[in-house]
Amino acid sequence: MSIPALILCYVMLLLGALAGLAIYSEMRRRRFHPTASADRIFRCQSCGYVYTDDADVDRSRCSQCGKLNEAIEF
């Protein structure tokens, strides 16, 4: 093999290894990364308690004082 062909093989091998490492790292990050919760966040207007409830409810009752509250919009 000629020198340019050896250099090309060496560079391609290193780039392939780097791409494989990047793919492995991304797959591992996705596997152990916590998934986002679909719950909605509520803050009680009366006592200030912050809590979550299911995504399908518009108003939720505070577990501390019992007042109905609207979801927080970010």
The verdict on 20 and 2 lying in the same domain is yes
* Residues 6+ positions from 69 with CB-CB distance below 8 Å: 42, 43, 44, 45, 59, 60, 61, 62
Q: What is the pLDDT of residue 74?
A: 76
The verdict on 49 and 64 lying in the same domain is yes
> Which residue range(s) make up the domain with 12?
1-33
Q: What is the pLDDT of residue 39?
A: 87
pTM of the full predicted structure?
Answer: 0.52
Q: What is the pLDDT of residues 22-56, one digit of tens each?
A: 999 999 988 887 777 788 999 999 899 999 998 88
Residue 60 pLDDT exceeds 80: yes
Domains of the chain: total: 2
The verdict on 7 and 29 lying in the same domain is yes
The verdict on 25 and 45 lying in the same domain is no
The verdict on 2 and 17 lying in the same domain is yes
Q: What does pLDDT average to over the chain?
A: 90
The verdict on 26 and 1 lying in the same domain is yes
